[in-house]
Amino acid sequence: LKISLNQLFVIIALTSAAAIALIITGIALSCYPKVEEPRFVYIFFTAF
């Protein structure tokens, strides 16, 4: 399995971006427990 440095960088960037997004989502949901999760997730994904 050969992976170029560019592909590796993209994979790392996407993984770290996903991890940061999950952390931010978790913080936001813990700060705003009244927020409806489905709507929040929908807004979150449409932001991208």
pTM of the model: 0.50
Identify whether the C-beta of residue 26 lies closer than 8 Å to the C-beta of residue 19. Answer: no
Q: What is the pLDDT of residues 16-31, one digit of tens each?
A: 999 999 888 888 877 7
Domain map (residue ranges) of the chain: 18-48
Residue 26 identity (one-letter amino acid): G
DSSP 35: S
Token pair for 29: 């949901």
Residue 9 has pLDDT above 70, yes or no: yes
Residue 13 has pLDDT above 90, yes or no: yes
